[in-house]
Structure 1
């Protein structure tokens, strides 16, 4: 087995973990939300959005890591690095948007007292 094949396998595993985190997080969040809704919990929807957003954020981090491993270690051409940069910019924007949705503030802002 070559180094390139090992890197591809590692990137695939990391990518699979990211997808699994998103899927399992969505399923878990939905199950908790249904349970809270049946109990008529006052903040069921807000809690559901927060839990789902956190799952997506964590999954996105794993997907970015897989893209970095695959691009830098396997095919470090100028074109592949440019594609990686675009992917990271898009995912970073998504992460920041989700963080704002979840917490109501930007990551660099202080928590309210």
Structure 2
């Protein structure tokens, strides 16, 4: 087995880990959501944490998938064409990650975290 095959296998393993993170995170978030709803919690109170948990699982999985693409593309055959394809993939996945982060946090990344107003609570 030569180095290119090892690097390809490592990249594939990181991709599989990314998919696994997304699947396990989605199943876990869904199970927790179902438990909260079935145990008498209000649907809308359980929905927001479910959505955040699912979004975090997707974000973490995307990071693994980008890492797998980088490992396979740059380490094995760094031609201008493969690096260009990698740049496109990373750009799309970065946009997805950015969009999910904005959706989860309900603010732009450059905005400060909202603190409760004085006297609230």
TM over 0.5: yes
Give, in whole Å, the separation in 2 of the partners of 1:61 and 1:108. Answer: 21
Alignment of 1:1-113 (within 5 A): 1-38=1-38, 39-41=40-42, 43-113=45-115
Give the TM-score of the pair, scaled to structure 2. 0.89
| Partner secondary structure for residue 112 of structure 1 | coil
Query: Post-superposition shift, 1:108?
Result: 3.1
Query: Post-superposition shift, 1:40?
Result: 1.6
Give, in whole Å, the separation in 1 of the partners of 2:60 and 2:109. Answer: 15
Pairs aligned (count): 113
> Which structure 2 segments of 5+ residues have no match?
116-121
Q: Which moved more, 1:97-106 or 1:51-60?
A: 97-106
Give, in whole Å, the separation in 2 of the partners of 1:63 and 1:107. Answer: 22
Give the TM-score of the pair, scaled to structure 1. 0.95
| Structure with max Cα Rg | 2
Query: Post-superposition shift, 1:94?
Result: 0.3
Assess if the C-alpha contact under 8 Å between 1:96 and 1:106 holds in 2: no
Query: Post-superposition shift, 1:77?
Result: 0.9
Q: Which moved more, 1:37-46 or 1:71-80?
A: 37-46
> Which structure 1 segments of 5+ residues have no match?
none
Runs of 4+ deviating beyond 2 Å: 106-109
